[in-house]
């Protein structure tokens, strides 16, 4: 498959997986009390420095990750495909969110660490599953 097509489709799948799967699980966690009510899903508050809505910003970065991982995981099939997307999504995105993003934004490490880290693994794993599923649906439709 041409690299450009893989990048575009990976971006689209990763972008869409954020509002559907990542934020969907976030909403469920919010409803059952795992995530406090003040940290709602699908937030549209403007994000600095450009004032882009928070959901659009998250979806954009989900698309970037989707494009990168679509290339990285392209050769996987069967159980390895699903495990790769879920595990890489869960761990890579969560590790970056906890250890790389805060220093860039000049913020402190999120606390309490372990509960938030486990929530991060869960919602990012849901994103990985959703991206993998969307890629499979796109492929089944003959678009990939």
Cβ density class 114-132: b for 16+ within 10 Å, e for less: eebeebbbbbbbbbbbbbb
H or E element at residue 47: strand 46-47
How confident is the model over 74-108, as pLDDT tens digits? 888 889 999 999 999 999 999 999 999 888 888 88
Q: What is the pLDDT of residues 22-64, one digit of tens each?
A: 999 999 999 999 998 788 999 999 988 899 999 999 999 999 9
The residues with which 46 forms a beta bridge, in sequence order, are 53
Read off the pTM. 0.91
Alpha helices for the chain (secondary structure H): 3-17, 23-31, 54-72, 78-99, 101-104, 113-140
Rounded CA separation 40/29 (Å): 10
- Residues 131, 19: contact at Cβ < 8 Å? no
Q: What is the largest CA-CA distance in the chain?
A: 45
More confident residue, 2 or 119: 119
pLDDT bracket for residue 1 (50, 70, 90): low
Measure the CA–CA gap between 15 and 62, rounded to whole angstroms: 5
Q: What is the pLDDT of residues 11-23, one digit of tens each?
A: 999 999 999 999 9
């Amino acid at each position: 498959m041409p690299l450009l097509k893989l990048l575009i489709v990976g971006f689209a799948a990763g972008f869409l997986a954020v509002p559907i799967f990542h934020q969907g699980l976030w909403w469920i966690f919010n409803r059952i009390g795992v995530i406090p009510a003040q940290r709602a899903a699908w937030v549209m508050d403007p994000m600095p420095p450009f004032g882009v809505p928070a959901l659009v910003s998250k979806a954009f970065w989900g698309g970037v990750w989707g494009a990168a991982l679509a290339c990285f995981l392209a050769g996987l099939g069967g159980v390895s495909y699903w495990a790769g997307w879920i595990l890489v999504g869960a761990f890579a995105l969560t590790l970056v969110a906890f250890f790389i993003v805060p220093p860039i934004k000049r913020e402190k490490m999120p606390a309490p660490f372990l509960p938030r880290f486990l929530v991060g693994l869960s919602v990012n794993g849901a994103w990985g599953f959703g991206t993998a599923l969307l890629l499979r649906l796109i492929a089944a439709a003959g678009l990939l």
